[in-house]
């Protein structure tokens, strides 16, 4: 029986050409994620089983998938477009904003695709030892933490197409969920740093942080009901109109200026 091959980013049952490129990309994505977890004890971080399950499925496609008449460059560009589409979709779904991805491979095609899709501003990685420098680094570290969490979600979509990923309670699925929880915790920590230094700075920094909150965590489609809970319980008289009133009150409040 002929098995139909798929070339979308998350599908691991694919052509031999696509599998080779994906295997290389998966190694770079997983290395990027691991760099953000190196400060934790190895016993607490189990990325390898997840990555190995994906790589095993891709290795199978390298052996059994048919070979396309396509250049390596064309295969890579197609894969990068598919990956970045998945990446952007996760950003908009979970962060309600676009987080420019990090460049992770040495492929010339990646530099070209990133330049086409995003407005990439150069960043200074040696900020001055000052409040301005701390605020700048807080934003940079927040974006890096967000990038790693989104990349791990993208790898999770690949895992779900493997035999291990299709078992809802497999060790690999549990490992992926646990690592995702740790990475999201790092995002929340960096969010607090951004807000802390923005509040200390005041003025335009406060306005920027306020606008960011209203656009993301408090934006349309994000529930704000929990902010009026006491001990995990909403007021008994809560109505949907109350949520709209609460959301409107956030937008009507002007930031403190200095």
Domains of the chain, by residue range, sit at: 16-201
Exposure string over 72-108, b if 16+ CB within 10 A, otherwise e: eeebbbbbbebbbebbbebbeebbbeebbbeebbebe
Mean of the pLDDT values across residues 173-193?
96
Determine the Cα–Cα distance for residues 141 and 191; give it in Å rounded to an integer: 9
Mean of the pLDDT values across residues 37-55?
88
Give the dihedral of Cα atoms 87, 191, 195, 233; nearest 10 deg: 110
Taking only the tens place, the pLDDT of each residue in 61-114 is: 999 888 888 899 999 999 999 999 999 999 999 999 999 999 999 999 999 999
On the question of pLDDT at 17 being above 70, the answer is yes
Determine the Cα–Cα distance for residues 45 and 151; give it in Å rounded to an integer: 16
Residue 233 dihedral angles phi and psi, to the nearest 5°: -125, 135
**pLDDT score recorded for residue 4:** 42
CB 149 within 8 A of CB 183: yes
CB 172 within 8 A of CB 159: yes
Return the beta strands (E) in the chain as ranges.
none
Predicted model pTM: 0.89
Q: Is 184 exposed, middle or buried (0-12, 13-18, 19+ CB in 10 A)?
A: middle
On the question of pLDDT at 237 being above 80, the answer is no
Residue 195 dihedral angles phi and psi, to the nearest 5°: -65, -40
Mean of the pLDDT values across residues 44-54?
92
**pLDDT score recorded for residue 126:** 75
Determine the Cα–Cα distance for residues 53 and 66; give it in Å rounded to an integer: 21
Mean of the pLDDT values across residues 31-57?
91
**pLDDT score recorded for residue 122:** 67
Three-state DSSP string of 136-147: HHHHHHHHHHHH
Taking only the tens place, the pLDDT of each residue in 113-152 is: 999 999 876 666 677 899 999 999 999 999 999 999 999 9
**pLDDT score recorded for residue 175:** 96
CB 98 within 8 A of CB 91: yes
On the question of pLDDT at 184 being above 80, the answer is yes
CB 81 within 8 A of CB 118: no
Determine the Cα–Cα distance for residues 10 and 57; give it in Å rounded to an integer: 11
**Where does the pLDDT of residue 228 fall: very low under 50, low under 70, confident under 90, or very high at 90 and above?**
confident
Beta-bridge partner residues of 183: none
Angle (CA) 67 49 149, round 5°: 90
**pLDDT score recorded for residue 234:** 75
CB 48 within 8 A of CB 26: no
**pLDDT score recorded for residue 120:** 79
């Amino acid at each position: 029986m002929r098995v139909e091959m798929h070339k979308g980013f998350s599908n691991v049952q694919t052509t031999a050409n696509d599998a080779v490129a994906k295997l290389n990309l998966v190694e770079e994505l997983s290395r990027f994620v691991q760099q953000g977890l190196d400060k934790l004890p190895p016993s607490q971080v189990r990325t390898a089983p997840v990555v190995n399950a994906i790589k095993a499925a891709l290795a199978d496609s390298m052996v059994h998938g048919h070979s396309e008449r396509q250049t390596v460059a064309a295969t890579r560009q197609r894969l990068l477009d598919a990956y970045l589409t998945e990446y952007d979709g996760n950003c908009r779904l979970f962060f309600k904003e676009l987080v420019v991805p990090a460049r992770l491979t040495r492929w010339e095609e990646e530099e070209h695709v990133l330049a086409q899709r995003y407005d990439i501003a150069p960043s200074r990685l040696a900020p001055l030892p000052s409040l301005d420098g701390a605020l700048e680094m807080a934003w940079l570290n927040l974006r890096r933490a967000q990038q790693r969490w989104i990349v791990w979600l993208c790898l999770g979509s690949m895992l779900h197409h493997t035999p291990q990923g299709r078992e809802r309670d497999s060790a690999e699925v549990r490992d992926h969920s646990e690592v995702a929880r740790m990475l999201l915790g790092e995002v929340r920590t960096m969010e607090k740093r951004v807000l802390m230094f923005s509040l200390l700075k005041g003025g335009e920094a406060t306005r920027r942080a306020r606008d960011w909150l209203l656009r993301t965590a408090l934006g349309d489609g994000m529930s704000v009901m929990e902010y009026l809970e006491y001990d995990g319980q909403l007021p008994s008289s809560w109505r949907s109109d109350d949520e709209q009133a609460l959301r409107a009150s956030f937008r009507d409040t002007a930031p403190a200026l200095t």
